[in-house]
Chain A
Amino acid sequence: MIDVSKIREDFPILKRRINGKQLAYLDNAATSQKPKQVIEAISNFYKTSNANVHRGIHTLSVEATELMENARRKVADFVGVKDSAEIIFVRNATEAVNLVAYSWGRNNIGRGDEIVLTVAEHHSNFVVWQQLALENGAVLKIVPLRQAQGLRPIHENGEVDLVAFKNALTKKTKLVAFFHVSNVLGIINNANRLSSIVHREAPKAKILIDGAQAVPHMPVDIDSIGCDFYVFTGHKMLGPTGIGVLWAKRELLEEMPPFLFGGEMISKVVLEKSSWNELPWKFEAGTPDIAGAIGLGAAVDYLSKIGMENVRKHEIKLTEHAIKKLSEIPDVTIYGPLDAKVRGGVVAFNVGPAHAHDVASILDSEGVAIRSGHHCAQPLMEFLQIESAARASFYIYNTEEEVDRLVEGIGKVKKVFKI
């Protein structure tokens, strides 16, 4: 197991007091906090090695290039990718999905073609495809979640409805896009299983997986999943904001046209035409976020040292504790499956008739930071027949005591609103 008190010492922000109370940061699905190892890696780069990459002959430029490419190698190893040229640095997961939609989607998805999504996608993996469908006359097919068995209510829906998923796949399916871990319900999709269903039912379809909530929290081995595109972001996994990753199979990246044009991505330019640089730089036009990539490399080092199996175990423990405590409070509704072993460390809930914003405001006055609202998943909110939800999400530095403070805060919500 992991030594949480030792880990907490690495995160300077956790010492902050909010409204006179010790901060309990339970909004990790939105963004994680950063350990001093990451902060120092970024500031050390600016202090000692800063220069532009892949351009200069001088020592600093060579150093900066090496640091950035080392970071790419580390990230590739971390997510089980052998060919590090398949790791494209982008700003965030949203940009990664957009890159695929603009470069691959607009050249391969046309009128009458079908795009299959689930109802629980984050807007970044929903609106991008919805807009492409509107533009190119493609058809969007939305797979619901499985209705819970027996008398269990709709909000305990457990997983993507596999029958509906299979039925949605046809000869016309060009793309299937789904989340790895839901940012609201915490559901963990069996990515390998869903991918093999796609291979069987629609062998020509490409598969894109949104791993924004998976890579930070559990071991992910992209090469073994059987998908074509996989996206994730640095800032949710202890890294800085502004750096994310698109992974795609080499043969796809080679046939895809560049997304952005300019410097860095060029091989040769003459007046009439240009040819493109090799992978991955073909997709990294302009000066990249060098410090961001180096920061992400440091974050990967930090997580690797702890071990992702241990991260997952710690989050299961916290989630079990949270679900147990929250279930004991009358009038609290928890969304998603109640078994912590099948879900990520994300617990969405509502407190009686109180609006999630009011819950979050009162918790904030107690120093407890949670998210509230629709979580960029309005189709899912509609499916669950709710306007909004409060959400607590955990990471390696969180403790059971912090979960208890969440529970105490909910007690205060009930008191204020006389629930």
Chain B
Amino acid sequence: MDLYREEILEHWRNPQNFGEMKKPDVVVEQVNPLCGDRVIFFFKIKKGKIEDVKFTGSGCAISVASSSILSEAIKGKSVKAIERITGQDVLVLIGGDIAPARLKCVFLPLEAVRKLTGR
């Protein structure tokens, strides 16, 4: 099944930047009330740049993989650059064939990260 490509499963098994952060500058959280999935992102920010990012939470393989991939993509980027990330960008990063019912799972981490810029 295309949804569960090996790359996604690898991120599920070994999510990147997973865990809590001591003394973060900003913490954002997003919950999907429909399924109860929850993701929390921690940021260290210096001069408008994301020096470090970590995430925790609970969710399906798709949302965990999406969080992991997104955290890799934004690490070292400017906060401004995050504003420009679109849902389409995340879909490209995730790859694969995402069924409509699972789009919410893919976008949950992006919705959380967007709270960083108040967008």
Q: Report A's interface with B, CB cutoff 8 A.
A: 354-358, 361-362, 364-365, 372-374, 378, 381, 387-388, 416-418
Identify the closest chain B residue to A388 (Cβ): B36
- Give the residues from 61 to 119 in chain B that come closer than 8 angstroms, CB to CB, to chain A: 61-62, 99, 101-102, 105
Partner of B61, one of A372, A388, A417: A417
Give the residues in chain A near B105, CB-CB below 8 Å. Answer: 357
Partner of B102, one of A354, A361, A387, A418: A361
- Complexed CA–CA distance, A373 and B61 (Å): 14
- Complexed CA–CA distance, A404 and B61 (Å): 25
Minimum CB–CB distance for B6 against chain A, Å: 10
7 contacting pairs across A/B (C-beta < 8 A)? A357-B35, A361-B99, A387-B36, A387-B58, A416-B1, A416-B4, A417-B4
- Complexed CA–CA distance, A372 and B37 (Å): 12
Q: Report B's interface with A, CB cutoff 8 A.
A: 1, 3-4, 9, 12, 34-37, 58-62, 99, 101-102, 105
Give the residues in chain A near B9, CB-CB below 8 Å. Answer: 416-418
In contact, A357 and B102 (Cβ under 8 angstroms): yes
- Complexed CA–CA distance, A171 and B77 (Å): 63
Closest 9 CB pairs of A and B: A355-B60, A357-B60, A374-B36, A373-B35, A358-B61, A387-B58, A416-B4, A358-B60, A365-B1
- Complexed CA–CA distance, A240 and B35 (Å): 25
Give the residues in chain B near A364, CB-CB below 8 Å. Answer: 99, 101
Extra 10 A-B pairs, beta carbons < 8 Å, given A358-B60, A374-B36: A357-B35, A357-B62, A357-B102, A357-B105, A358-B61, A372-B35, A373-B36, A387-B58, A416-B4, A417-B12
- Complexed CA–CA distance, A418 and B28 (Å): 32
Partner of A388, one of B12, B35, B99: B35
Identify the closest chain A residue to B99 (Cβ): A361
Give the residues in chain B near A373, CB-CB below 8 Å. Answer: 34-36
Given the known interface contacts A357-B102, A416-B9, the answer about A362 and B36 at a Cβ–Cβ threshold of 8 Å is no
Give the residues in chain A near B62, CB-CB below 8 Å. Answer: 357-358
Partner of A381, one of B36, B37, B60: B36
Give the residues in chain B near A387, CB-CB below 8 Å. Answer: 36, 58
Give the residues in chain A near B59, CB-CB below 8 Å. Answer: 355
Given the known interface contacts A387-B58, A417-B9, A417-B61, the answer about A358 and B4 at a Cβ–Cβ threshold of 8 Å is yes
- Complexed CA–CA distance, A12 and B71 (Å): 47
Minimum CB–CB distance for A373 against chain B, Å: 5
Identify the closest chain B residue to A373 (Cβ): B35
Residue of A354, A381, A416 with most chain B CB atoms under a 10 A cut-off: A416
Minimum CB–CB distance for B76 against chain A, Å: 30
In contact, A378 and B36 (Cβ under 8 angstroms): yes
Give the residues in chain A near B1, CB-CB below 8 Å. Answer: 361-362, 365, 416
Give the residues in chain A near B4, CB-CB below 8 Å. Answer: 358, 362, 416-417
Give the residues in chain B near A361, CB-CB below 8 Å. Answer: 1, 3, 99, 101-102
Residue of B36, B58, B62, B105 with most chain A CB atoms under a 10 A cut-off: B36
Identify the closest chain A residue to B57 (Cβ): A387
Identify the closest chain B residue to A416 (Cβ): B4
- Complexed CA–CA distance, A370 and B1 (Å): 18
Give the residues in chain B near A357, CB-CB below 8 Å. Answer: 35, 37, 60, 62, 102, 105
Give the residues in chain A near B101, CB-CB below 8 Å. Answer: 361, 364
In contact, B35 and A374 (Cβ under 8 angstroms): yes
Minimum CB–CB distance for A172 against chain B, Å: 33
- Complexed CA–CA distance, A364 and B100 (Å): 13
Given the known interface contacts A362-B1, A365-B1, A417-B9, the answer about A355 and B61 at a Cβ–Cβ threshold of 8 Å is yes
Identify the closest chain A residue to B59 (Cβ): A355
- Complexed CA–CA distance, A161 and B117 (Å): 49
Give the residues in chain A near B34, CB-CB below 8 Å. Answer: 373
- Complexed CA–CA distance, A417 and B1 (Å): 11
Identify the closest chain B residue to A362 (Cβ): B1
Identify the closest chain A residue to B4 (Cβ): A416
Minimum CB–CB distance for A349 against chain B, Å: 16
Give the residues in chain B near A388, CB-CB below 8 Å. Answer: 35-36
Give the residues in chain A near B61, CB-CB below 8 Å. Answer: 354-355, 358, 417
- Complexed CA–CA distance, A354 and B61 (Å): 7
Minimum CB–CB distance for B93 against chain A, Å: 19
Give the residues in chain B near A418, CB-CB below 8 Å. Answer: 9
- Complexed CA–CA distance, A417 and B12 (Å): 9
Identify the closest chain A residue to B104 (Cβ): A357
Identify the closest chain A residue to B1 (Cβ): A365
- Complexed CA–CA distance, A373 and B59 (Å): 10
- Complexed CA–CA distance, A358 and B1 (Å): 11
Minimum CB–CB distance for B26 against chain A, Å: 25
Give the residues in chain B near A354, CB-CB below 8 Å. Answer: 61
Minimum CB–CB distance for A377 against chain B, Å: 11
